[in-house]
Each structure stands twice: as C-alpha cells, then as structure tokens.
C-alpha cells in the first residue's frame, strides 16, 4: 500500500489582502527608506548618509587634515566596502562636491588635483585625485569615540557606523543642503559661519528669541560664489516659513 500526501491544505497557504492597504504600506516603507537612508540630510549634522560615511571612514583611517593626501580611489573603496554599497560613482561624486569651494560654503574635504570647475567641467577620475579631511571636518567628528552619538550596524552587520556625527557647529545652515526624496524635497542655501555661530550663542542665552531677533545676526544666505540678493522679502519668508525665493542679478561680458 502506498501512502499519499494530504493535499487538502496547501504547503504555503495564501491570504487575501486589500491592494489599497498594501500599496499604502509599501509606498510608506519605500518613502521612509529614501528619506532616511539616501536623499535628505539629518538636521543634527547636516549630512546625508553618503557624506557622513565618507567623513567617518576617513576619520577612522586617519586621513586627517595634517596627514598626507590619499588616493580618492582608496577612500571610495573603503567607504563602499564597509558602509555604502551603492556604487563607486555616487561616493566619488559626493566626495568631489565636499571638496569644491564653489559648491560648499565651508568645504569638508581638502582635495588635491582636478576636482572640477564652476563652468561644469567634471573632476578627474578617482585614480588621479587625492584627498584628506579639511581641518573644519574635525569639529564634526570631535569626541565621537566618547559615546557622544549612537552607532548602528552597517549593511551586513560586520561594522558599526555613527547614526549622526557630534557636529560642533550647525553644518546644515552653514553648508546648506539639497535633496529630492519621495513626496518631499529640500533646498537649503548656505549661510555665513560667523553669523550662524552668533545666532546660536544668542539663542543659547535667550531660548525665547524670535525669528526677528535671530535675523539681526543671520542676514540671509551666503553663497560660496558671492552675489547680491535683491530685496529682503524672499529671505524673510524662507527664514520664517521654510519657503521663499530670491533673485540674484548676474552680469556677463563677452
């Protein structure tokens, strides 16, 4: 006599779900992943994950401002292997931008070689350029070994990385940020470091300070390439509501 398997109950039973609820849940999970893990900076240190991972990896390897330059390809390889497995081009592009004094109000990377130009010329390949941390970057990482911030496992659990950097100055305001996520976006202009620090001290001394009070210290954006802003209404609107537009005149001589 041959035994036969009972086929009345399937090995992998299925269940009915409402497609509307599944789409809501899946979309929200995807949106949060993009917002938190890729597209938007953290207000605490003003960095996106890729920028934070580059700086932490360079700090971990000792590529400080007073040490010799290292090949960009080596830096990118370390970051990709340990913390950011999303392709070398994304990492190198982020490193290049942090080294451009025309892109960052306060460059966080000290680059050596061709890192592009204001005219849109691309940087040289990573095998040719070299980099190390800029001196100001040390203030973003100071005391990170003293349990000042939380750490989390990297993508495969083999390493740990900081959730956020200690950041001794408001990098989000100083260097600004731009990013497009799912359902939201941000475009924060850079501001003057001295003005931001003065406003920070004023807010510490008087936690009840209003936007108008702080605008006595921070007059408006301070772009790395300079410029004159026409009018104040756009600046005031941006500082008070988070939304505003400004007009900067340009001149070109042929």
Instruction: Point out the catalytic residue in the list 27, 30, 128, 155.
Output: 128
Q: What's the rounded Cα separation, in Å, for the pair 201 and 70?
A: 37
DSSP the chain: -------SS-SS------HHHHHHHHHHHHHHHHIIIIIS--TTT---HHHHHHHHHHHHHT--TTS--EEHHHHHHHHHHHT--S-HHHHHHHHHHHH-TTT-SS-SEEEES----TT-PPPPPTTT-EEEE-GGGHHHHTTGGGT-S-EEE-TTSSSEEESS---SS-HHHHH-EEEE-SS-EEEEPP--HHHHHHHHHHHHH-TT--HHHHTTT--S---TT------SHHHHHHHHHS------------
Choose which CATH entry (2.40.33.20, 3.90.199.10, 3.30.110.60, 3.40.1280.10) describes domain 22-162: 3.90.199.10
- Position 71 scores a pLDDT of 98
Identify the residue with better confidence: 60 or 14.
60
Average pLDDT over every residue of 125-132 = 98
**Predicted confidence band at 96 (pLDDT cuts at 50, 70, 90)?**
very high
Query: Tokens for 134?
Result: 């800029």
Give residue 185's region: left, alpha or beta (phi > 0; psi -120 to 50).
Answer: beta
Catalytic annotation present for 128: yes
pLDDT reading at 3 higher than 70: no
Task: Parse the chain into domains and list their residue ranges.
Answer: 22-162, 189-253
Mean pLDDT taken over the chain = 91
At residue 44 the predicted structure's pLDDT band, cuts being 50, 70 and 90, is very high
Find the mean pLDDT for residues 33-37.
76
In whole angstroms, what is the distance from residue 228 CA to residue 240 CA? 21
pLDDT at 6 over 70: no
């Amino acid at each position: 006599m041959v035994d036969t398997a009972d086929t009345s109950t399937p090995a992998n039973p299925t269940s009915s779900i409402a497609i509307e609820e599944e789409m809501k849940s899946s979309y929200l999970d995807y949106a949060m992943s993009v917002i938190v893990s890729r597209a938007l900076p953290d207000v605490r240190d003003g960095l996106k994950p890729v920028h934070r991972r580059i700086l932490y990896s360079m700090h971990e390897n000792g590529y400080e401002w007073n040490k010799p330059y290292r090949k960009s390809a080596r830096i990118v390889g370390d970051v990709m292997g340990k913390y950011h497995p999303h392709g070398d081009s994304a990492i190198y592009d982020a490193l290049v931008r942090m080294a451009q004094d025309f892109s960052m109000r306060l460059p966080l990377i000290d680059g050596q070689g061709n890192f592009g130009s204001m005219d849109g010329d691309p940087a040289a390949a990573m095998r040719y350029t070299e980099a190390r941390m800029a001196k100001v970057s040390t203030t973003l990482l100071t005391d990170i070994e003293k349990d000042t911030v939380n750490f989390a496992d990297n993508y495969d659990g083999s390493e740990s990385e900081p959730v956020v950097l200690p950041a001794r100055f408001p990098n989000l305001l100083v260097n600004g940020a731009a990013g497009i996520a799912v359902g939201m976006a941000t475009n924060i202009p850079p501001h003057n470091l001295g003005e931001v620090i003065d406003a920070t001290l004023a807010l510490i001394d008087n936690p009840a300070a209003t936007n108008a009070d702080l605008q006595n210290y921070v007059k408006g954006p301070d772009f790395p390439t300079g410029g004159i802003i026409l009018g104040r209404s756009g600046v005031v609107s941006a500082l008070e509501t988070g939304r505003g537009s400004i007009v900067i005149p340009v001149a070109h001589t042929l």
